[in-house]
Amino acid sequence: MAGVSVQAFRRQGRRFGAGLVCSEMVSCAGLQHGNERTLGYLRIASDEKPLAVQIFGSEPEIMAEAARMVEDAGADLVDVNFGCPVKKVTKTGAGATLLEDPERACGIVSAVAQAVSVPVTVKMRRGLENGARSCLELGARLVEAGAASLTLHPRSARQMYTGEADHSLTTELVERVGVPVIASGDVTSRARAQAILATTGAAAVMVGRAAQGNPWALREIIEGDAEPPSREEVVAELILFMRETVKELGEKRATGFLKKFYGWYLGRGRFPKPFKQELVQLETLAEVETRLFAAAPGAADVLARLEAELPDGEDDVVLNLPISIYGGG
């Protein structure tokens, strides 16, 4: 979910019923060095709480200091990433690599848990290689080190997002540890979520890719409301997401960032395929908005209602950083 779980995405998830939302991965090295873009991940809005901020790194002391910064910013949980399979993360000794380095992994969790007063949670994969079971032994040790909860995505790092998540491993992990386990992977519908919860004994499910451009999936999973959104609702949510992202990232950065979301929102048979390509080729977000409103004129009324329901933001975290980076934040 890196490059997806911006503040606008998290706030939207909360509006559609998510009980807890999580930031994208935050580099501990970036926080340590005061990187402006990394510090921007600690910008927290009042209506996205409860919020977990996820950190990654390989050095216990640096992770602990980052965790303190996360707590000071107002996060309700500090989540430690031991699951990212991307090479630029694993080659630094962080992410899923730590599944095969239990001593360092436990040292990180212990250091982080001692550094903060909020709960510390861990997100894991099953292991580096297909068929690995590293998460089971390591999970129990992480709880001893101070983890208050574990999230398991039972694919290997090698699998990335191919194949199926093997939730028999989730069942085994639940049986081995005395803390809540959250099941992640292939949670795409209410029926699937109910089946995973019933067969694994997990305390909750985590939804990731299924909610990309599709917050209505959360409503269906939580409430069983399978009524598809109207074109007006889709356009209104997309434009609101665009406007909120501009506030966070600034116009220039948001323009490129948002292009991948057009297909996610407009797909699933909601709009003709060429429409997405048309939007991607437009140079400004104002042009994109104009074209979207033309395609669904009634979206303006839906958008006005959504914006009227947003909080005023008085309790948001405001960082003392350049306006050019964070669009006024």
For 246-281, what is each residue's pLDDT tens digit? 999 999 999 999 999 999 999 999 999 999 999 999
Residue type, 319: L
Residue 95, number of CB atoms within 10 A of its CB: 25
Q: Using an 8 Å Cβ cutoff, are 8 and 40 in contact?
A: no
The pLDDT value recorded for residue 263 is 95
Q: What is the pLDDT of residues 94-139, one digit of tens each?
A: 999 999 999 999 999 999 999 999 999 999 999 999 999 999 999 9
Can you tell me the distance from the alpha carbon of 285 to that of 301, in angstroms, rounded to the nearest whole number? 19
The pLDDT value recorded for residue 2 is 82
Which is the catalytic residue, given 22, 28, 84, 135? 84
Three-point CA angle 143, 221, 270, nearest 5°: 130
Can you tell me the distance from the alpha carbon of 197 to that of 195, in angstroms, rounded to the nearest whole number? 6
Q: What is the pLDDT of residues 147-190, one digit of tens each?
A: 999 999 999 999 999 999 999 999 999 999 999 999 999 999 99
Instruction: Report residue 314's pLDDT band, with 50, 70 and 90 as the boundaries.
Output: low
Residue 91, number of CB atoms within 10 A of its CB: 10
Whether 106 is catalytic: no
Helix residue ranges, H only, the chain: 7-15, 28-32, 36-39, 60-73, 87-90, 102-115, 134-145, 168-176, 190-200, 216-223, 231-249, 251-257, 259-266, 273-280, 285-295, 299-309, 323-326
Three-point CA angle 282, 8, 75, nearest 5°: 150
pTM above 0.85, yes or no: yes
Does 311 score more than 90 pLDDT? no
Q: Please give the DSSP secondary-structure letter assigned to residue 223.
A: H
**Closest alpha carbon to 80 in 17, 124, 19:** 124
Three-class secondary structure assignment of 274-326:
HHHHHHHCCCCHHHHHHHHHHHCCCHHHHHHHHHHHCCCCCCCCCCCCCHHHH
